[in-house]
Amino acid sequence: MFEYVVERTEGSARAGTLTLPHGNVQTPAFMPVGTHAVVRGLSAADVRRTGAQIILGNTYHLHLRPGESVVHAMGGLHRFTTWSGPMLTDSGGFQVFSLEGLRRIEEHGVQFQSHIDGTLRMLTPESAVDIQWQLGADIAMAFDHVVPGQSSYEAAREGMERTLRWLDRCKQRHAQLAGKLDSGEAGIPLPQTLWPIIQGGIHDELRMRSLEGTLERGPWTGVAIGGLSVGESKPVMHRVIELLTPALPVNTPRYLMGVGFPPDLLEGIGRGIDLFDCVAATRNGRHGTAWLPTGRLNVRGAALKGSTAPLDPDCDCETCTTYPRGYLRHLFMVEDILGLRLVSIHNIRFLVRLGEEARARILDGTFCGWSRGWLSRYYAGGD
């Protein structure tokens, strides 16, 4: 049910297939983020047309609104959203980082003050797992403690060790719920699997200890690398990835959380990453930045006024095959929601296609050269 098969490798890069209850995911792959059970601005059909195979939801946000019991009563996230493909829910661990100032960390869990109405909400390893079972995605993430990229050894060590202790508790609760499912008690339509998250900041020794501690607690159907792209430099991020992937089991998918921008995907794939998620595709889309093979394009820019050219002539997305640049710019100038949607669609398709092409290249053994050329062309565009 949660099988991962690596079909071919080239250097550290891998092409594989992940089997999940709601379908397969061919890797490498980018997963669009749908924090509030929606990829912002897009319908499930829009997302499907981008070629995305799996999307995310978020424990913290869906716990606040509408509440996991509501989603569960409506038949789980798949029925709730009408997205019938694979899904993954993040645990709320990232909010420990992003909502710093609205939360207090304790060993028992994290006390959040809701950013919506100020009410106090405790998230613990156990409740994060409970909520995710109620939401019913294919993959649940362990509740982790993410520290900023600049964190000292001491701060990173604390977050990393806590993440391991919390992993034990997540695992235990997950096993309890899986046992209930087996005996038909849970009332949950399909099983889900739990993935752990490696932490340790930018400190290699901590990263390795996190990896070892995580693997000791396995086996796992997938392993995530968290706590990157949170303020550290690119070379440091690359170093940490290179450090970890060789030490991970081959037939386990590696998920680099929160990454990335287009070049980050190729840099990650080349270093052995299989799965990515990132809000940048949709956020940049809403903010008027489109990704092109030659770097970023400001869709609001005066240069696009009157242009009849497609956004990206090489792209097969709905936006690029239908609308001229001058119209997309116009949509942003008049602040119509269609503009936000169309550029989001393009950016997602752009990353999905990057994954598809990388996969094809790995399968025919031409990934490394192609990736090098792609990256130099992208960076030459001024990025």
Nearest to 167 by CA among 194, 191, 146: 194
- Site track 217-256 with RNA (rule: CB under 7 A), x = hit: -------x-xx-xx---x----------------------
Sheet holding 120-123, edge to edge: 103-105, 110-113, 120-123
- Site track 81-120 with RNA (rule: CB under 7 A), x = hit: ---------xx-xxx-xxx-xx------------x-----
Q: With CB under 7 A as the contact rule, which of the stretches 17-25, 44-52, 138-146, 320-328 interacts with RNA?
A: 138-146
For the CB of residue 345, give the shortest distance to RNA in the complex, in Å: 12
Strand partners, 56: 33, 88
267 in contact with RNA (CB under 7 A): no
Sheet holding 4-10, edge to edge: 4-10, 13-20, 23-27
* Cis before 293? omega within 30: no
Q: Under rule CB under 7 A, which residues in 44-63 are in contact with RNA?
A: 56, 58, 61
33 in contact with RNA (CB under 7 A): yes
For the CB of residue 259, give the shortest distance to RNA in the complex, in Å: 4
The smaller minimum CB distance to RNA, of residues 10 and 160, is found at: 160
Is residue 114 within 8 A of residue 61, CB to CB? The reply is no
| Residue of 90, 130, 144, 312 marked catalytic | 90
368 in contact with RNA (CB under 7 A): no
* 312 is an active site residue: no
Structure tokens at 140: 């649940």
| Residue of 130, 144, 274, 277 marked catalytic | 277
Among 13, 211, 340, 342, binds RNA (CB under 7 A): 340
* 182 is an active site residue: no
Q: With CB under 7 A as the contact rule, which of the stretches 77-85, 210-218, 258-266, 316-324 interacts with RNA?
A: 258-266
Structure tokens at 302: 């005066």
Residue 215: phi, psi to the nearest 5? -65, -35
For the CB of residue 361, give the shortest distance to RNA in the complex, in Å: 21
Nearest to 26 by CA among 346, 314, 261, 357: 357
Q: Under rule CB under 7 A, which residues in 306-335 are in contact with RNA?
A: 333, 335
For the CB of residue 121, give the shortest distance to RNA in the complex, in Å: 13
CA dihedral 260, 307, 39, 79 (to 10 degrees): -140
| Residues 4-8: contacts with CB under 8 Å, at least 24 apart | 4/221, 4/222, 4/251, 4/252, 4/253, 5/251, 6/250, 6/251, 7/363, 8/362, 8/363, 8/365
The smaller minimum CB distance to RNA, of residues 134 and 284, is found at: 284
Contacts to RNA by CB under 7 A: 33, 35, 39-40, 56, 58, 61, 90-91, 93-95, 97-99, 101-102, 115, 141, 144, 146, 197, 224, 226-227, 229-230, 234, 257-261, 264, 277-280, 282-284, 286-289, 296, 298, 300-303, 305, 333, 335, 337, 340
Q: Catalytic site residues?
A: 90, 277
